[in-house]
Structure 1
Amino acid sequence: MNGIKKKYIVYIMIFTIIIYAIVRYFNIVEGYIRSITKALMPFVAGAMMAYIINILMDAYEDLLLKRFNNKKIIRMIAIILAIFTFLLVIVLLLGIIIPQLVKILFSIMYTNPDNIKKVIVDISNNEWIDKALSMINIDINKIDVADYITKLIKSVMLSVGNVLTGVISGISGVFNTIISLFMAVVFAIYILCDKEKLSLQGDKLLRAFLPSKREWIIDTLKIFNTSFRNYFISQVKEAIILGVLLYIVMFIARLPYASSISILVGVTALIPVIGAYAGLFIGALMILTKSVQSMIIFIIVHTLVQQFENNIIYPRVVGSSVGLPGMWVIVAVTLGGSLGGVFGVMISVPVAAGLYFILKRETEKRL
């Protein structure tokens, strides 16, 4: 017993010394943590990339195994096809969206104040907007919107200038970014090639150091893997369907930027809850440079398509794949956004779904 007590006392003393050192030399420790985090980012990005590409790779392997028997060749072909598909989708998305956003940015930067006044007049003379504002007792004629928007555009132009200056000064970091991206891709390929071997090595570590917790850890990892996999696949399906539906309706209504906005809305739909509104805002801003009437039609069209997709298609496509009630989705997204920004929003739902499933299962066991 004395030996056990002495061991715990030693552990407490070591822990206290470590805590004191971290508090006393916080700035130095923080610098080391940032350096380590920065060095590990390519490998973290590579692991995330491998997880997403692995979903595509499994689909290609299942397809190829029906026709061929050589697993090594099938593995290499599946990896090449999955990486090519992943990169192709990213390049196509960036190639379509970025030029349109740049075009819109410059059109806003060089907008003539007279054109702004014309837009305001069009808005004030629009029957739909006039009725909507009258319902909330707002008289647009009493608001000096033109002056406000002119100041806003000047502020945007100044901000854009500062951003461009920062981009120009940061061009030297492009080379480091390319190297980091290359390392991430290479690391992802290594993970995909040796995923079974890595799984066996992880199992050996658990057997050696955490034998009593092995089953619990594996079970927990399986739950979160299922949650992330189902969430990712269902969100991609939903985003594709939403983008296609919006494009068809916009094409029929002859609205401008139909393809760009549809792809943009589809991509932003991958972000739960707030994604659809972000796509609506950016799309409305893009169409506003063409016509106020078209912008109003787009807002109505987007709202109708979104409601149809949420109430008819989403339950059938996604269903209970994630298994998280709507109330907790909102809570998860809010917490995720506060802690991790856009990235936190995207991973908050599957993480919360996994925790919800574990808590629900354990509660049912105890009852």
Structure 2
Amino acid sequence: MIDKTHIVKNNKTMLYITYAIVLAFIVFNFNTVFSIIGYILSLATPLYIAIIIAFILNIPMRKIEHLYGKKIKKRGLKRGLAMATTLILALLLIVLFSSFIIPRLGESITLIITNIFNYANRLVTLVNDTMAKFHVNYAINYDSIQQGLATLDLNNFLSKSGDLLGNAGINLLFQSIGIFGFFINVITSFIMSLYLLANKETHLRQLKKIVTFLFGYKESLVIFDIGAEANHYFNGFVSGQLLECCILTSLMYAGFRLTGLPFPELIAFIIGLASLVPMFGGFVGFGISFILVLAVEPTQAIIFTICFVIIQQFEANIIYPRVVGGAVGISGLYVLLSLVVFGNLFGFFGLLIAVPSMALIYAVGSRFINISLYRNHIEVTDKSIKKMSD
């Protein structure tokens, strides 16, 4: 008679041996395996871009669809009208940005490049005079700065800047498949995002089936719970941060225009774009803009600082809490930690996803720890740790 227990044990033993062999192969050939996996994953690059586009477009589309739902009951018509309205609004924003903002930015940048030596001379003179007033034995050598500006390799600078901003993948894409292939990928990604939006419930159901098949019922419930929480944090943060960036840019532009500061479009755009990075992003934009204003009109640097502080405080204390709300409820310590860690790992893209990612990690970690303490009947307070009775 066949011993089924013996067969099961042998099957488990073979499974463990196979697992150990595969793990050893991966460890000793880590670079090769990692390269192969990276290549396989890169084949679906348009899908990743499509998911990002669909995620961003879904934020306004969901609200528009809800408004249409009050008048239209047919699901297909409601979804189609919501998608069309969202695309029209996105196109209007692109046209507005291209026809108004980009030309103004181009004029400001052209004027700065044309007068860069005069601005540099003013800035050096101002710094040296200030040092002399405070009896500091230090002076900037303008000749070396002028020589550096004259020999500046703009292409090399832009290339290095792109690497620092995490655009190495884009550069590789241009080199490997060319500009034509890049635009083909963009168009493909956009069309795929429309399919994702049109049938998002179906695709989510298919994804849930795959996850449940791979991980089982109980584990899949945990994964779906984490996914729902991730969607909450990323949705609230992305929509709120983008809206807050637009509001801040508009307020800065209006304030700089009313006070007669130079290049109001450019410095408002710099500050607004930098504010996408929470905590210190706006202050980085302020530092860059302050140097620019100081070089062009030193007497207006104080006006610029006062204007920035007033608008920034108004935005931080009134607008930001209402727009972003409680979507990301973590302390400043974890925000800074997330920016450092994710920035070092993923560059500029890491800075954009750092805060909602840390909020998700914090929420899941807190839940896991609290459940574990509860099951072990342990209560932790500010003053003591108690072992509770069953």
TM-score range, shorter chain: 0.7 to 0.9
Report SS of the residue matched to 1:259: helix
Distance of 1:323 and 1:114 partners within structure 2 = 47
Tell me the equivalent position of 2:155: 160
Q: Does 1:144 align with 2:140?
A: yes
Tell me the equivalent position of 1:279: 285
8 A contact 2:342–2:350 mirrored in 1: yes
8 A contact 2:122–2:295 mirrored in 1: no
The one-letter code matched in structure 2 to 1:216 is: V
Number of equivalent positions? 356
8 A contact 2:47–2:192 mirrored in 1: yes
Tell me the equivalent position of 1:194: 199
If each structure's helix is expressed as a fraction of its own residues, which one has the higher value? 1
- TM-score, L = length of structure 2: 0.78
Tell me the equivalent position of 1:216: 222
8 A contact 1:43–1:184 mirrored in 2: yes
Q: Which of 199, 209, 233 is 1:227 aligned to? A: 233
Per-residue Cα deviation, 1:272-329 (whole angstroms, up to 9, x for no partner): 2242134224433554563233345324422342233223433343342211111111
Return 231-240 or 309-318, whichever deviates more.
Answer: 309-318
Q: Does 1:314 align with 2:320?
A: yes
8 A contact 2:61–2:86 mirrored in 1: yes
Distance of 1:94 and 1:331 partners within structure 2 = 36
- TM-score, L = length of structure 1: 0.83
Tell me the equivalent position of 1:175: 180
Tell me the equivalent position of 2:210: 205
Tell me the equivalent position of 1:73: 77
List gaps (5 residues or longer) in structure 2.
Answer: 163-170, 380-390
Q: Does 1:184 align with 2:189?
A: yes
In 2 relative to 1, CA 108–18 (structure 1 residues): closer, same or farther, beyond 3 Å? farther
How far residue 342 of structure 1 moved from its aligned partner, in angstroms, is 1.2
Return 2-11 or 255-264, whichever deviates more.
Answer: 2-11
The one-letter code matched in structure 2 to 1:309 is: E
Tell me the equivalent position of 1:303: 309
8 A contact 1:46–1:187 mirrored in 2: yes
Q: Which of 286, 308, 325 is 2:331 aligned to? A: 325
8 A contact 1:109–1:153 mirrored in 2: no
Per-residue Cα deviation, 1:241-283 (whole angstroms, up to 9, x for no partner): 3222212221221112223432332233122224213422443
8 A contact 1:93–1:263 mirrored in 2: no
The one-letter code matched in structure 2 to 1:42 is: P
How far residue 47 of structure 1 moved from its aligned partner, in angstroms, is 0.5
Aligned-residue identity in percent: 26
The one-letter code matched in structure 2 to 1:183 is: T
Aligned-CA RMSD value = 3.3
In 2 relative to 1, CA 96–285 (structure 1 residues): closer, same or farther, beyond 3 Å? farther
How far residue 227 of structure 1 moved from its aligned partner, in angstroms, is 0.9
Return 208-217 or 312-321, whichever deviates more.
Answer: 312-321
Distance of 1:115 and 1:213 partners within structure 2 = 62
Distance of 2:50 and 2:121 partners within structure 1 = 50
In 2 relative to 1, CA 138–336 (structure 1 residues): closer, same or farther, beyond 3 Å? farther
How far residue 357 of structure 1 moved from its aligned partner, in angstroms, is 1.9
Tell me the equivalent position of 2:265: 259
